[in-house]
Structure 1
Amino acid sequence: MGVTEDAIREICTDAVFERGENYLTEGRIREIHRVDTTVTAVVSGSRQYDVRVDFAADGFDPWCNCPYDGPGACKHVVAVLLCCLNDLPADEGDRLDAALDAADPDALREFFREALATDAALREQFFASFGESSTRSVDELRAAIDRRFEETNPEYYVVFEPIDFSEWFDLADEYRKQGRDASAAAVYRALVESLDDNMERVDGAYDHFSRAFTRALDGYVDCAAAADREADGATDAVAFLEERIESGTPYLADQFERATADLKEELVDGSDG
């Protein structure tokens, strides 16, 4: 666990570090858990905020669902990291492993099957992890992401706070690990479409949504190019990006132009290879 005060200061501003210290002193961390290198916590601010950090990741890979839109990590993340600096939570990983080892195989199978039957996102992650084909199309994936926008602030059209897209990024990452670039590209495309079309609703946490869009777009280019090379032919990926230059959110047009050029270059390089 490489958490130090200097490492925490590197991911936030001085003002945010001070606010994080105050939050820790005020006892605003309501709940904190650790499994292996991942720590999850609930921090009390204007409401309860969920925080996640990973000590094995560069810069702790922090995530919080608060509306902070400034540079670096927010005060909730800093408070959690400072808490871990002073008193690292007990690792529940061994307990989890012991429970899995002791579980009756049939009972364990029944437990997971029931969980998978009622949770579409978990089921999709399961299929991806164990080599099964995706059960959701781009349109279905996109509809699920759109619902997250609608559920975030149901009383208003405008979205003020960050949305956790890790469910879909994790799914795409798993497909990439399996070498299934076409499936990963479908997930990234769903994210790109939803973020592009819903960006006009965003009125806060701009950096969060911008980073998510850029990550999804870059992932789409990489995976679409790899899938095309594997199939020894072009798909509609370039056409999709070119269409978005004209029809998408105006201030994202430059990113779509860059992505289109990058994809064309990767396809040419792949065909030459």
Structure 2
Amino acid sequence: MDVTEGGVRDVCTDAVFERGETYLAENRIREIHRVDTAVTAVVSGSRQYDVRVDLAADGFDPWCDCPYDGPGACKHVVAVLLRCVDEVPPDEGDRLDAALDAANPDALRGFLRDALAIDAALRERFFARFGESSTRSVDELRSAVDRRFEETNPEYYVVFEPIDFTEWFDLATEYRERGRDASAAAVYRALVESLDDNMDRVDGAYDHFSQAFARALDGYVDCAAAADRETERATDAVAFLEERAESGTPYLADQFERAATELQEELAEESDG
């Protein structure tokens, strides 16, 4: 888990590294916390930016909600990593474990239930981990993603900064890890639809949105093939991709066509096998 200057240089450009050094020297890191190997921080720039890194992951698995869409990590991430080079934040994991161990089970259950009652995203992940299937339809999931576009820059139609889609990708991962491919496919499809329909609003961070779209589309193909190979929904999934290739964002048409072909081939291979 050792963080070295060389390791930080490997995940960013030289120019960004220098900006990160400046941000650290200017004391722009307002908060920094660590639980196990996960570090979260708030870094001050033109506004307050949330940063997450995993000190044990290859390349630190960095995330920041700033508009940077250049190569490698942004200056906010670099500042946080350089702070960890100087001094890794104390681990709050033991404190968290101790509090959980000491908590009264009924009180803990009540606390969790109250939190789940008011946080729909957390509640959906809870159902994904401990329930049977998704509690929300594609349309409901899609509406939640659409709201993120609307809330990101409410004064204007255009979206200038990246949007964090982590909660939906994490939700899909929860379903996939438990073999609930149909539920995961619904999450990926909601992301694909929303990104496709809102792509004309994007006027910055193009790489961020393009990468999110490609990731969601690939996930949809994988999960649709795994979940629907023996049902009529397989045909519906292919038809959805082909229809989007015709009616969706023009420069995404090739990706939809590729996905439709890939899904058809996967379904054919399963049928032949």
Q: Same fold (TM over 0.5)?
A: yes
Question: Partners of 1:8 and 1:266 in 2: how far apart?
Answer: 40
Displacement of 1:232 = 8.4
- Aligned match of 1:202: 202
Q: Secondary structure at the match of 1:39?
A: strand
- Post-superposition offset of 1:83: 0.6
Pair 1:251 & 2:248 matched: no
Is residue 29–residue 44 contact of structure 1 (8 Å, CA) maintained in 2? yes
In structure 1, distance between residues paired with 2:199 and 2:57: 28
1:166 alignment counterpart: 166
Distance apart, 1:47 and its partner CA: 0.8
Task: After TM superposition, give the deviation of residue 55 of structure 1 in Å.
Answer: 2.0
* Paired position in structure 1 for 2:9: 9
Q: Which residue of 2 aligns with 1:177?
A: 177
Q: Distance in 2 between matches of 1:211 and 1:167?
A: 16
- What amino acid is the match of 2:85? L
- Distance in 2 separating the partners of 1:168 and 1:2: 31
**Distance (whole Å) between structure 2 residues aligned to residue 223 and residue 72 of structure 1:** 29
Note if contact 1:131-1:178 (Cα within 8 Å) is conserved in structure 2: no
Q: RMSD between aligned alpha carbons? A: 1.2
- Structure 2 gap ranges (5+): none
Change (3 A) 1:232 1:253: closer
Q: Matched residues in 1 for 2:53 and 2:235: separation?
A: 37
Partner of 1:68: 68
Cα deviation, 1:103-126, whole Å, max 9, x if unaligned, reads 000000000001101111110000
Partner of residue 40, structure 2: 40
* Pairwise CA distance, 1:264: 1.1
Match of 1:54 in 2: 54
Contact 1:125 1:171 in 2 (8 A): yes
CA distance in 2, matches of 1:253, 1:139: 22
Q: Is the 8 A contact 2:133 2:180 kept in 1?
A: no
* Percent identical: 84
Letter in 2 for 1:41: A
Number of residue pairs matched? 273
**1:237 and 2:237 equivalent?**
yes
Partner of 1:89: 89
Contact 2:245 2:253 in 1 (8 A): yes
Cα distance in 1 for residues equivalent to 2:183 and 2:233: 16
For the residue of structure 1 that corresponds to 2:143, the secondary structure is helix
Q: CA deviation at 1:95?
A: 0.7
| Alignment correspondent of 1:99 | 99
Of 218-227 and 60-69, deviating more is: 60-69
Q: TM-score, normalised by structure 1?
A: 0.97
- 1:214 corresponding residue in structure 2: 214
Aligned twin of 2:226 = 226
Q: Displacement, 1:230? A: 5.8
Cα distance in 2 between the residues matched to 1:235 and 1:130: 30
Q: Which residue of 2 aligns with 1:134?
A: 134
Where do 5+ consecutive residues of structure 1 fail to align? none
Counterparts of 1:85 and 1:268 in 2: how far apart (Å)? Answer: 51
Alignment-derived partner of residue 31 in structure 2: 31
Secondary structure, counterpart of 1:236 in structure 2:
helix
The CA deviation string for residues 46-67 of structure 1, in whole angstroms up to 9 with x for no partner, is 1110111112322111111111
Return the alpha-carbon distance in structure 1 between the equivalents of residues 90 and 233 of structure 2: 52
CA distance in 2, matches of 1:239, 1:22: 52
